[in-house]
Amino acid sequence: MNPAQLAALCLTHHHSDHLMDVGDILLTRWVCGGAMPFPVIAPEGPTTSYLERLLSLWADDITVRKDHGRRTTEPEIDLIDFLPREEPTVVWERSGVTVTSILVHHEPVEPAVAYRVDSGGASVVISGDTRVCASLKKLAHGCDILVHEAVMTEEVLKAGMPHVAAYHADCRELGAMVSDLDVATLVLTHLEPSPRDALAAQGFADEVRRGGYQGQLIVAHDLVAVDTAPTIS
């Protein structure tokens, strides 16, 4: 989609792989004519500290683009920060869309949150990075789509990365948790170790099935679309 069409951006935590492209999104949205300021939703702490400093890194680029393109606006963030809690908390509402957040467990990265987006009777939950945890269950129960990270624990341990296994969601544990949540579709993302082919990707689904989940299951890949996701205007 055209970045100018984005209504808001939700950030889950301050790991670099979740923040690296925020500047690109913000600046490209501005260049494409998106309205400013741009709402960015984030938990109070290191993530909001990053956002407060982000545009200063691009000051020279912004000046050139503004002068050369005769633009009358500048990129600007409407920072919507909140204190994360272990109970579902509404953090943003607009045009019939409600975004709810909850604290999840990705220690030692603190805080880390998950989000639920409700719109037009449909609901999507995005886990962010987390171990399988009870707070996520509170947020995801009964949702149409749960987008959740997944780790093949045994493979990660074989690769000599026990620290990765320690703060991510084991596939079988995830399958067991989601089997009790009345979730229509589970989408696996942030896959570790990254699958090199379709057979390796199927291994993630097989492990989740062994955990007990029997609903629709999708192993995500770049540009995958899930038709029942709500539309935000």
17, 60, 197, 227: the catalytic one is 17
> Where does 32-170 have alpha helices with state H?
46-54, 59-68, 134-140, 153-158, 162-166
Q: How long is the chain?
A: 233
Instruction: Determine whether 17 is an active site residue.
Output: yes
Asked if residue 84 has a cis previous peptide bond (ω within 30° of 0), the answer is no
Distance of CA 83 to the CA centre of its chain: 17
HSE on the CB side for 202, CA within 13 Å? 3
Exposure string (b/e) for 49-85, b if CB count within 10 Å is 16 or more?
ebbeebbeeeeeebeebeeeeeeeeebebeebbbebe
Backbone angles phi, psi at 143, to 5 degrees: -75, 160
Give residue 80's identity as a one-letter amino acid code.
I
Dmax (CA) for the chain in angstroms is: 58
What residues are annotated to the active site?
Answer: 17
